[in-house]
Amino acid sequence: MQIVHVVRQFHPSVGGLENVVAQLAFAQYGKGHDVRVVTLDRIFNASGAAKLPKWERIGDIEVVRVPYVGSTRYPIAPSVIRHIRHADIVHVHGIDFIFDYLAWTAPLHRRKLVVSTHGGFFHTSFAARLKKVYFNVVTRASLRWYAGVACVSAADEAMFRKVRTRGACLIENGVDVDKFADAGAKAPTKSLLAMGRLSSNKRIDQVLAFLAALRRCDPEWSLTIAGRPYDISIDDLHGYVRHLGLAGHVRIVDSPSNDDLRGLMADASVFICASSYEGFGLVAIEAMSAGLWPVLSGIPPFRHLAEQTGIGSIVNFDNVDAAALAFLGVWERVSMHYDQARYAAMKAAAGYRWELAGEKYEALYDSALGKKSRTILDVPILAKTSAEAVELLDREFAAGRGGIVVFANAHTLNATVSDRRVQSILQRSIVFNDGVGVDIASRLLFGKPFPDNLNGTDFIPHYLRATAHVYRIYLVGGMPGVAQRAAARLSAMAPQHKFVGVCHGFVPREHMDELIGDIRRSRADIVLVAMGNPQQETWLNDRLRETGCRLGFGVGGLFDFMAEVVPRAPQWVRTARLEWAFRMMQQPKRLWRRYLVQMPIFLLRVGRQWAAGERVSSASPQ
């Protein structure tokens, strides 16, 4: 895959965003992708702001730099469009001019676009009202040209879902947790470390005030500040230190290397950050990977990190005396069990490895391009040939994963719009395409049909004949007697399997536990459920685990066709993709509304999805 990352600042600039793009680019190159980074040709706030080389290779990553004019808040760089033409996917990082420009020129460059939010442009309170209006009007409109939106934090997800209800998913940033692994002090020390870019949003002034309050309770505490100046200078920091009477208790390290930081971590037990804004909180996780205990401000990304990992102290830096007392209470417990606390912090940080985030981004790209799955009405549908579907199910069964298998037609997908629970079930299931309506949607949204029509009526007999496994199979559904005849017919088609039980589909709620017990006693491997959709999918969601079966298939009208209660259309009708018309003529009272009313509604909804630009599921990629 040819991937182009577009970001306003990159190496040699140093910061969280630059590090995220670099780590993702290197991880993707390592998986065999062709990766390019397009960025601006000057470093913001650098003295002299000299132009950087137009082209260079950093490691194995091609870096192209383009000129810009205007403010660093909204740098205007129209030449970026020349450097994305070869891309399969263009991954824009941040919400700025480039984000808007590539959106509104999409009909010209015709590249598939995805964006990572990185906090939008709400990093500071500057022009807050204007930003809010811009976000709700211009950003909302620009997002229509983006196939997928990767929200890098839970706070970003909440914010961006207001302007992109579907097609926005949560992919938290990865972290290079090996860089500082186990670097922290091996025994508890009363030493704090603040590291990262020296910018106003980091609120270093509050960190110093916190230290002063801490020392009033325990004068053994000290602080190291390590970072590259941005809009706060080293002289500014020395001024803060003198003002608070902390001379001799604060060490300031200008622009440390990673080796320098490892050395500084070796003397520290606590990482501290009073930031008023973070897109994600990458540096806090790097500190945790070293075994440091994080003391963090109460902004949403830090609260989410603490809730997810159970590690760290969230304090209110606006009241430093109370914050210091609260921390000392926690520190007493942490220091008494220091080895366990270090290990817990490092283990929690390991869950943010770039390998995991990289896999999610690759799934996002594949979904945007419609390669492995195609999202229709917020449901990812696998794009598989019949042979590939057999291989996938066999692999899932052999690995002990299994789950619910759905054959989604237009009727099924329509049901997800009004029932979010059904939508959630399908987003967590193995979903194959069924019918001409879904194929039309694929052509409109992704420019190509599905490889095969994998309707349950044809695929289930094929799968039972083609699978490498020998299954014990239980059938649930249909009118009394229909499941028995369907089982006999399927057994004749695939005699290697054992059909271990059947039940009709009209079991009263009060007798459902008896049915579940019967399925469990039969030791069935798979259960075929024919209750119509979405009832069969909700039944499988609620009951599959209790049955002990590994795979549960929602098979719709399969039993009726197998038992010859309902005739199949002739083969030439099926080949012409007109089986829906044949079925409607056979059962007009039951099916006329589905095909003559619900199908046009489905296509209108697909048209709305096309206009909105949504090509990926709101469920986080797996």
- Dump pLDDT digits (tens) for 550-593: 999 999 889 998 998 877 777 887 787 777 777 778 777 777 77
Listed residue (96, 167, 161) closest to 134, CA to CA: 96
Using CA atoms in the order 21, 25, 27, 28, what is the torsion angle rounded to 10 degrees? Answer: 140
Cα-flanking dihedrals φ and ψ of residue 536, to 5°? -65, -35
Q: Return the structure tokens found at 277.
A: 């804004």
Of the candidate CATH numbers 3.40.50.300, 3.40.50.2000, 3.30.70.20, 3.30.70.1230, the domain formed by 2-170 belongs to 3.40.50.2000
Q: Is the peptide bond before 380 cis (omega within 30 degrees of 0)?
A: no
Q: Are 454 and 386 in contact (CB under 8 A)?
A: yes
pLDDT at res. 49: 65
CATH 3.40.50.2000 range(s) for the chain read 2-170, 191-348
**Nearest-5° Cα angle at 228, 227 to 229:** 115
Residue 548 has pLDDT above 80, yes or no: yes
pLDDT at res. 48: 59
Q: What is the mean pLDDT of residues 99-122?
A: 93
Residue 619 has pLDDT above 90, yes or no: no
Strand partners, 270: 192, 293
Rounded CA gap, 195 and 252, in Å?
10
283-304 pLDDT, tens digit per residue, is: 999 999 999 999 999 998 899 8
Residue 529: Cβ-neighbour burial (10 angstroms; 0-12, 13-18, 19+):
buried
Question: Coil, strand, or helix at residue 498?
Answer: strand
Residue 125 has pLDDT above 90, yes or no: no
Q: Residue written as tokens 């229709």?
A: 376
Rounded CA gap, 420 and 439, in Å?
23
Pairing, β 55-58 against β 61-66: antiparallel
Listed residue (38, 36, 42, 33) closest to 12, CA to CA: 42
Residue 622 has pLDDT above 60, yes or no: no
pTM: predicted TM-score of the whole model, two decimal places: 0.80
Listed residue (52, 66, 60) closest to 11, CA to CA: 52
Residue 498 has pLDDT above 60, yes or no: yes
Rounded CA gap, 234 and 506, in Å?
76
pLDDT at res. 155: 84
Pairing, β 472-477 against β 430-433: unpaired
Q: What is the mean pLDDT of residues 11-29?
A: 89
Rounded CA gap, 452 and 577, in Å?
12
Q: Are 364 and 616 in contact (CB under 8 A)?
A: yes
- Mean pLDDT check: name the lowest of 7-21, 52-66, 381-395, 493-507: 7-21
Q: What is the mean pLDDT of residues 523-550?
A: 95
Q: Is the peptide bond before 534 cis (omega within 30 degrees of 0)?
A: yes
Strand partners, 89: 3, 112
Helix (H) or strand (E) holding 56: strand 55-58
Which CATH number applies to 191-348? 3.40.50.2000
Cα-flanking dihedrals φ and ψ of residue 192, to 5°? -100, 150
407-456 pLDDT, tens digit per residue, is: 999 999 999 998 999 999 999 999 999 999 999 999 999 999 999 999 99
Question: Coil, strand, or helix at residue 184?
Answer: coil
What are the helix (H) ranges across 379-435? Answer: 386-398, 410-418, 420-427
pLDDT at res. 547: 96
Q: Which residues contact 50 (CB under 8 A, 6 or more apart)?
A: 42
Q: Are 67 and 83 in contact (CB under 8 A)?
A: no
Q: Which residues contact 525 (CB under 8 A, 6 or more apart)?
A: 397, 469, 471, 472, 473, 549, 550, 551
341-372 pLDDT, tens digit per residue, is: 999 999 999 989 888 889 999 999 999 999 99
Q: What is the mean pLDDT of residues 92-107?
A: 96
Q: Are 148 and 169 in contact (CB under 8 A)?
A: yes
Q: Are 442 and 369 in contact (CB under 8 A)?
A: no
Q: Which residues contact 459 (CB under 8 A, 6 or more apart)?
A: 386, 389, 407, 432
147-175 pLDDT, tens digit per residue, is: 999 998 888 899 999 999 889 999 988 88
Q: Return the structure tokens found at 276.
A: 């008023």
Residue 47 has pLDDT above 70, yes or no: no
Mean predicted lDDT score pLDDT of the chain: 92
- Mean pLDDT check: name the lowest of 75-89, 181-195, 400-414, 561-575: 561-575
Listed residue (286, 289, 283) closest to 297, CA to CA: 283
